[in-house]
Structure 1
């Protein structure tokens, strides 16, 4: 409406000195190689993030790009994802309204016998058909996975099915779990394990929550 010269004069009068030649030079300047590269990478990053249902964070997007033969630094992926407002799934506090169970293990991930302490968590894997969520229960004594379940949604049934399977398998093997067993899970990024404390018919199993720092005692394989 006012043109370039009047606008530059007003800006200059307010202490922001911009010549009209500066404006035209900036408008006609070719985009830098970095900006061109960033635009290309933003398209690829957005595609990878969308193809994986928005659950991939910086590390997984970066690895997927490299698998597809698109070389890029991880810090660049982080910078561009931040600019695009993209992020992966983050663990957080459950908002399901239930009171969080106590951490009965107190960071002691050891056991003197089977069925004394079980730890549980869930993760997700990318398949050709989409994202699949997998829950599992591990006996701390043997480091064996005693129960598991898979589903395409993160509902409470996913984690409860894994616990039910563990109880069923131990009962079938003639070594049933009972009073004294502590079922310890993550604090519940999706609330599923928090709701497991409301699960009936667990034979007196005590449930506890807390972060699962189990990496120093990983299950074989």
Structure 2
């Protein structure tokens, strides 16, 4: 009788959580929500009999691939204050999702002057590529033609491409 009751709970929670719970999480949820004291092994055995398995999601790979031969030396050394304009610039690319189901993406590439934290160049694009970063740098240099700043980036793939270095 106890196993039949447990089987009903397992079916209910499997459906409720879209088949994503493994036996450990299933046990924790049932015990907490239903005020029961089932054992992991007992839940595992019933799930196995019912043919219920969790869906294992693959691990996401990191977007940033670091290549030692393409990484510039970190000259900024966490000194994020500048004593004069155009002394230190920092840059990064940010992804924004939009649309009814966040299915569309926009990318903002921005360069800040660390003296006053004011943006000196930016570019928006639907593609996160080298062109986005180059156009941002071009705009910043056109706005400040005499500038020769210490330029720092996070080492993303655009920033470590052979063309950029």
TM superposition score normalised by structure 2: 0.63
- Aligned match of 2:32: none
More helix, by proportion: 1
How many angstroms does 1:119 deviate by? 0.4
Compared with structure 1, are the counterparts of its residues 100 and 159 closer, same or farther at alpha carbon in structure 2 (3 Å cutoff)?
Answer: same
How many angstroms does 1:91 deviate by? 4.7
For residues 154-184 of structure 1, give each alpha carbon's deviation from its aligned partner in whole angstroms, at most 9, with x where no partner exists. Answer: 211111111111111223xxxx313xx1110
d(CA) in 2 for partners of 1:98, 1:150? 29
For residues 11-61 of structure 1, give each alpha carbon's deviation from its aligned partner in whole angstroms, at most 9, with x where no partner exists. Answer: xxxxxxxxxxxxxx77xx43433211111789xxxxxxxxxxxxxxxxxxx
Matches within 5 A, 1:150-189: 150-171=124-145, 176-178=146-148, 181-188=149-156
d(CA) in 1 for partners of 2:109, 2:74? 20
Aligned to 2:113, which of 139, 142, 147?
A: 139
TM superposition score normalised by structure 1: 0.48
- Aligned match of 1:83: 56
List alignment gaps of at least 5 residues for structure 1. Answer: 1-24, 43-81, 200-206, 208-221
- Aligned match of 2:158: 192
Pick 1 or 2: higher relative contact order, CA cutoff 8 A, min separation 6: 2
Matches within 5 A, 1:62-141: 83-85=56-58, 87=60, 90-94=62-66, 98-128=69-99, 130-141=104-115
d(CA) in 1 for partners of 2:85, 2:124? 24
List alignment gaps of at least 5 residues for structure 2. Answer: 22-54
Aligned to 2:122, which of 137, 148, 168?
A: 148
- Aligned match of 1:204: none
CA contact (8 A) 2:92 2:110 kept: yes
How many angstroms does 1:150 deviate by? 1.5
SS at match of 1:194: coil
d(CA) in 2 for partners of 1:83, 1:40? 10
